[in-house]
Amino acid sequence: MTADASTTAVRLGPDAARRYKASRRPVWMEKPSIPMQGLKGIVLLLVCIAVIYPFLAVIGTSLSSQQEIAANNGFVLFPTQPTLTAYTTIFAGGIVTDALIRSIGITLVGTALSVTLTVMMAYGLSRRGLLGGGFFLMTALLTMLFTPGIIPTFLVVKELGLLGTYAALILPTALSAFNLVIVRSFMMGIPSELVEAARLDGAGDLRILWHVVLPLSKAVIAVVGLFYAVGYWNAFFNAMLYVDSDKWPLAMVLRQYVLLGSSIDASAGAEIAAPSQAIQMAVVVISLVPILCVYPFLQKYFTKGVLTGAIKG
């Protein structure tokens, strides 16, 4: 006991001292001082600049001409004469447009399938007393510790006849053990009285899942859905292994143009060729836009779903 606490105990008495000590808030809950608030503001400003500056540089470079890019050593933050030549060249060639459509289809189908499998398996494993539940849960968790190598996975995909198909980009990664654990933990936190009441009314497991569990699990489903969508959207390695170039998603096309320095062929009749650097940055912008459009609608569920799924159960 500190000197201040001892003085308080003598002055107020033991019972009053205990109440005084219990009423005091922890240090981290106290209002920070003005210098500390200023320091936090400066740190937050620096972090925002570090995040926003590269994004603005990519957009500015994609809207710049060859001369302006060369004059600014390859990156332009605010172009003096913005031009959409890079974007018109990309969409005129058709390669990025087709890849964009394929990526949207793969992401939508893959996310729907992955969320469905994850929710159904998580609901089953969250029910206490399930026969073999521990075995199936341990099997799923082992995949987080011991992942198959490239060659075994390739041989399995080949034996299943999935080579050269879009299914090879979805099925090998259809279920994530990490997302399964999050959803299962969330569902275990749902009051069992609600499930029992629905079962007494004659509802089966599918009806309980649809009418009771899913409405209460919107937050965690939105979170894992975003995880799956981002994973499918950014995946390029499976495309490089399993499908030909005419079925490449946008992430693989982006890799070709940005890392390998390939150029995009414009359609016949195109007279103005955009600079290579501008085309590379334009492809990066196109690949970012869909995720940036979806994330704001799911952001309010993100923190709630992850934290609740991590601490319950």
Distance of CA 261 to the CA centre of its chain: 27
Is residue 81 in a domain? no
Average pLDDT, the chain: 81
For residue 179, give its domain range: 88-311
Question: Are residues 226 and 111 in contact, defined by beta-carbon separation less than 8 angstroms?
Answer: no
- Please give the model's pTM, rounded to 2 decimal places: 0.76
What is the Cα–Cα distance from 78 to 61, expressed in whole angstroms? Answer: 8
Q: What percent of the chain has pLDDT over 70?
A: 80
Check residues 284 and 25 and name the one with the higher pLDDT: 284
Interval 285-311 mean pLDDT: 69
Check residues 309 and 160 and name the one with the higher pLDDT: 160
Q: What is the CATH number of the domain that holds 198?
A: 1.10.3720.10
What is the radius of gyration, based on Cα positions, of the chain? Answer: 27
Is residue 80 in a domain? no
Interval 267-296 mean pLDDT: 71
What is the Cα–Cα distance from 236 to 72, expressed in whole angstroms? Answer: 31
Interval 196-210 mean pLDDT: 86
User: Which residue type is seen at 83?
Assistant: T
Interval 96-109 mean pLDDT: 91
Task: Using alpha carbons, list the distances in angstroms from residue 111 to 98, 123, 223, 291.
Answer: 20, 18, 12, 13
Reported confidence tier of residue 223, pLDDT bands at 50, 70, 90: confident
Domain total in the chain: 1
Is residue 13 in a domain? no
In the structure encoding, which two tokens stand for residue 128, read together? 């206490």
Is residue 56 in a domain? no
Is residue 96 in a domain? yes
Interval 30-54 mean pLDDT: 88
pLDDT digits (tens, 9 = 90+) for 126-171: 887 777 888 888 888 888 888 888 898 999 999 999 998 999 999 9
User: Which residue type is seen at 252?
Assistant: M
User: Which residue type is seen at 221?
Assistant: I
